[in-house]
Amino acid sequence: MIPRYTYPEMAQLWSDEHKYENWLKVELAVCEAQAELGLIPKKSLEVILKKASFDISEIEKIEREVHHDVIAFLTSVSNHVGKDSRYIHMGMTSSDILDISLAYTLKETNKLLVSSLRKLMTSVKKQANKQKNVPILGRTHGMAAEPTTMGLKLALWYAELERNLHRLKAASAEVEVGKISGAVGTYAHIDPKVERIVCRKLGLKPPKISSQIIQRDRHAHYVSTLAIIATSIEKFATVIRSLQRTEIGELEEPFARGQKGSSAMPHKKNPIVCERMCGLARLLRGNALTAMENVALWDERDISHSSNERVIFPASTSLLYYMLVKFNDVISGLRVDADRMLDNIFESGGTIASQRLLLSLTNAGLSREEAYGIVQRLAMLSHKTRKPFYNIVSEDPEVSEQLSKEAIEKVFDIGFYSRHVDYIFRNVFGK
């Protein structure tokens, strides 16, 4: 996490202060559960709830000596509580507080991620409806194909974001799981009811079974899901970057008043935000690989995962949140040059109608092989001579023998290619 790519609301959730607040919240919830089961005197619980606190500078000082962050935290809390602190952390192991607190923090970050993803979906839907019938050249292999509409391109993005929302909810549910089962996960020193009570208090679910830790396949799925969402944003950003190129000029990300594009070339308006989205997505995919490496730990636990998780969870959630918010700004302020889109369609000289011409000739009675040969020959001639395909087709005797002038003109009507826009929009957005 670096400030440049971290919004304050997410930074606060991963701050040391908030981490210790959640640790204390867990320890107090455990004490309350133990008291509810009659395992801690009510008077001692009252003292603990009243006095329990921590001092970050004290924790840091203690940790430098003991080299154990949880012990340092508990020592600081004990110094505030006094003799009744003997009931704090009773029957627990460090992973109990670490894993359930991580789950609770992820639950908090997931609210931000889901909310920002929904906002992006809303912006994409709004733009899709606005650009619903705006013709744009479809491209395959980077080459001119057939016309589509800008609205359909955006509708495709919306459907992908909708799938990502389902993925995020499912992956979030898998990591919003807390365990308090003690050393190696046997509940030998703590009642399983404590786990259920505390999870209920925190809005988490207890696992069916755990070792000393929550199993990391859950977290691998979660971080991989974050990476997939980031990769979708990269995909959309790549389209915008591509179509902003000087020779295409169909789309343009927002360019603020006073913004500068280049230190050397004043004319430049570079797609820097979209490029940033692509770069950050690479980081999230790297973090997903690290999360997968954390699945295969030794026996009931080791801590080879612990060090990198201090990086990948704050980084992945913060970066994705940043990407969702920032790309929402891009979509909301996206400049669409409909005139340039039409120019690029006609710049092809009409070869985009080759398939429709092929089908018209086959419907007129030619075999597919015969029709394909005629159309390809004429298209290659158009490419070579740069003469409009429409003119070449209209003047070709083999075509004229099969199709009337009116039929040829109909072949080149670009409005034909968007006749199913309403059907597709109903599929994507509903009624």
430: alpha, beta or left, given left = phi > 0 and alpha = psi -120 to 50? left
Give me the residues paired with residue 335 across strands: 252
Listed in sequence order, the residues at least 6 apart from 225 whose beta carbon sits closer than 8 Å to its beta carbon are 164, 167, 168, 170, 171
From 53, 115, 262, 367, active-site residue: 262
How many C-beta atoms surround the C-beta of residue 329 within 10 A? Answer: 14
What is the C-alpha end-to-end distance of the chain, expressed in Å? Answer: 42
**DSSP symbol at 86:** G
Helix and strand numbers (H, E) in the chain are 18, 4
Please report where in the chains the tokens 């460090």 appear, as a residue.
94
Give the CA-trace dihedral at 235, 238, 243, 245, to 10 degrees. Answer: -170
Radius of gyration of the chain measured on its C-alpha atoms: 30
Q: Which residues of 265-287 are buried (b: 16+ CB within 10 A; e: fewer)?
A: eeeeebbebbebbbebbebbbeb
From 141, 263, 267, 307, active-site residue: 141
Which residue type occupies 97?
Answer: I
For residue 116, indicate whether it is catalytic: no
Give me the residues paired with residue 252 across strands: 335
CA distance 261 to 220: 39
Which residue type occupies 32?
Answer: E
Among 186, 61, 153, 72, residue whose Cα is nearest residue 341: 153
Q: What angle do CA 179, 180, 184 make, to 5 degrees?
A: 90
For residue 94, indicate whether it is catalytic: no
Please report where in the chains the tokens 């935000």 appear, as a residue.
273
Listed in sequence order, the residues at least 6 apart from 117 whose beta carbon sits closer than 8 Å to its beta carbon are 161, 164, 165, 168, 229, 324
Provide the annotated active-site residues. Answer: 141, 262
